[in-house]
Structure 1
Amino acid sequence: MTSLNVVSKCLLLFCVIVYTESKGNTIRNCNIMNNLFKNIGWKNLKRVKHITYLNNNNNLLSIIQEPIIPATCCTKIRATTIFLGCTYASILLDIVTVVENQRLFCEKIMNNNKLQGHNGTEKLLDILSNITSFAKLMQGALYAIEKLHRKPWNHLVRYHIILKLAIDKFLNLQNQLNNQPYSKEIDNNAILHNIKLNITQIERNIKLDVMKYCKLERSNIFVLANKLKVEYNNIQFNEENIKFYNSGSEIILSEIKMLILENFTNLGFELNSKNGEIFIPSSLDGDFEEAENKSEISPAPIPVFLDSFNKEVDNDSEISPATIPVFYDFLQKDLIGDVTMNDEFEIETEDLTKKETRNFISSFK
């Protein structure tokens, strides 16, 4: 009798294992992912060396090269979400550097001329609005991919989707700025201080996700910051430098447009401007071997999208100016992804010294 019970339990366990392992993703979702990777933008992603997922390191080729089948689809979807999230993390590290440097430049202008400082603050707010719109596109793209997983990351209780905390803080900062009365009589220093506090928190959250999942290409992180470094090279700070501030701002806003094209549009994602949804176009579904419920093909929604997104990003007449690159602590770090999520992470230092950073900053005093 005991022997029969053991055999029954073993048979039951075997059936559970077989059922679990055979339960892959749908052919429809596999086709969507395979077709998504046909977009040329995926081959041009250069910011990430590899990502760490399920104790394995995956580079871009290992994710997009082999055709996706139901048995591997969920793993590929999760790896894609992480890889794209790491790419966005690299971009955001560049962007928060730029924002903080613009904030410092704006403070210097304000100390010399309050009116010019007020105008500089307005330009900073304009740039933050565009950055927030880009952050929403990033978040929407990640959700659009993850929605294809059998157990989407955003529905899990224990772990949140990569960059969720950082992007949520961007959205919260934008809400604070939108609800804050702003005029020439308002203390601009209070606004700049609020931006500083939020950017510091955002940077911290980005770095935590990077250290969990990402090994970034060090030379490709601070692309925009380095462009601004060239723009501001060897200038002597005075009231006339507002023109450099304005020129830097044009560079930032132009670069945001290019980043959206390269890391959103060219990857195959689209925005429904009427309802703010980010989705993978249905034309990528291909010819499916399964009859699926059409309701499953609906695009992945992104929470609260600005109606004025196209106006903010595409209208050149409303683009305004910004920034001075100062290189902070994380520019001196090597951002490394460890094998497990719960390990302690270390950041190695680069050759850029604090002395060099101080010398660079001092050239604007």
Structure 2
Amino acid sequence: MFSLKLFMFIFLIFYMILYTKAQNYPINTNEKLDNLLKYQGWKNLNDVSSINYCKKIYYVRNLIETPSSVHKGDQKIRALTIYLGCIYAKVMINIFLIIIKWQEICKNKNKEDHDLLNGCIYAKELINIIAKLIVPIATLLKGAMDALDSLHQFPWAHFKMFRNKPFMIILLLDRIGYILDELNDPNLSCDDRSTNSSTFESVYKFFKSIIALLQVETGLFCEFVPSNRNYLWNEWVQEYRIINQGEMLIFFKFLTRKIKYYIKTVIIELYFQLGFKFDPITEETFLPTPEEPIDLDLEFKAIDEEPPTPVQIENH
């Protein structure tokens, strides 16, 4: 019995030595991280003042400006990934709030005006916005978080035990794509009012639930700089000036253009200018080498593709 215990003890020590060597933190990981943080975009981030992780508060400026160390590299990578998640969560909440606000106005409008044709156009436009703008931006932002976290010795994406904890914003970004599966057939019938109503209701409930989950998650980790929750909607409404009940379609077209411009700005400022690159072949985000410049025009050509099965909108 004694010899068996001794053997097991020796085996355990031997295994720990081998495992430690296998998981030794690569020095060039710190270099990759520091090179990434040299991109100008990191210095322009100002929506989040600090983040909470493992009972410790991390201040954003310290994370960005302090050189990475061998012993605290993983800690810094994880904190920065959470920090990025806080920023991206706010972006998605901003977009969802715009859609929800518009839907609420549209819902009140439909009670007064039973225009079946406009209801069909709104539903198709809404699906187009989700398919061509919202789902792609969510996928892109999740890819950036995965790329940053891939520098960690134990990336969340590689370990099933981390799939639900401790940071669900990555999973929520991934879940946004599921809304397309929940919607009715994209070839909506303009003769069926119930189909249009069902589409609106599905989107409304889905976005509401995602907002609630994102707010719970950011409440645990993120310390945001105080701001008006509906600041984007208020700015756009002020720009449009007067919302006339007879101009709902024009207003929606206006919102569509604003959402598209907002998303393009997010991609530039919170993706490319942070050093992330997109591979159009694998459709994955990766970190560039220090010598590899980012050409925004080429990058946009790579990601600004029409979806394989775009939703057709009739011209009226």
In the superposition, the TM-score normalised over structure 1's length comes to 0.69
Q: Distance in 1 between matches of 2:46 and 2:228?
A: 7
Indicate the residue corresponding to 2:174 in structure 1.
Answer: 168
Indicate the residue corresponding to 1:208 in structure 2.
Answer: 216
- Unaligned runs of at least 5 residues, structure 2: 1-8, 293-300
- Over 3 Å counting, the alpha-carbon distance change for 1:250 and 1:26 in structure 2 is same
Displacement of 1:312: 4.7
Q: Does 1:219 align with 2:221?
A: no
Verify the 8 A CA contact 1:63 1:80 in the aligned structure 2: yes
Verify the 8 A CA contact 2:96 2:211 in the aligned structure 1: yes
Q: Does 1:155 align with 2:149?
A: no
Q: Distance in 2 between matches of 1:137 and 1:189?
A: 30
Give per-residue Cα distances to partners, 1:133-179, cap 9 Å, x unaligned.
00001100000011111111223334334413322331100233385
Verify the 8 A CA contact 2:116 2:191 in the aligned structure 1: no
Q: Distance in 1 between matches of 2:99 and 2:122?
A: 12
Verify the 8 A CA contact 1:109 1:242 in the aligned structure 2: no
Displacement of 1:274: 1.8
1:204 aligned partner, one-letter code? A
Q: Distance in 1 between matches of 2:304 and 2:221?
A: 32
1:64-213 matches, within 5 Å, as 64-111=64-111, 112=113, 113-129=115-131, 130-160=133-163, 161-177=167-183, 179-186=185-192, 187-213=195-221
Q: Does 1:269 align with 2:276?
A: yes
Indicate the residue corresponding to 1:324 in structure 2.
Answer: none
1:133 aligned partner, one-letter code? P
Verify the 8 A CA contact 2:138 2:174 in the aligned structure 1: no
Displacement of 1:54: 2.1
Verify the 8 A CA contact 1:24 1:73 in the aligned structure 2: no
Equivalent residues, number = 282
Q: Does 1:63 align with 2:63?
A: yes
- One of 293, 296, 304 as aligned partner of 1:310: 304
- Over 3 Å counting, the alpha-carbon distance change for 1:225 and 1:262 in structure 2 is same
Identity across matched positions, percent? 27
2:262 aligned partner, one-letter code? E
2:282 aligned partner, one-letter code? N
Give per-residue Cα distances to partners, 1:90-148, cap 9 Å, x unaligned.
11121111111122233344442221222122222222120110000110000001111
Displacement of 1:234: 4.8
RMSD: 3.2
Q: Does 1:252 align with 2:259?
A: yes
1:271 aligned partner, one-letter code? F
Displacement of 1:220: 6.8
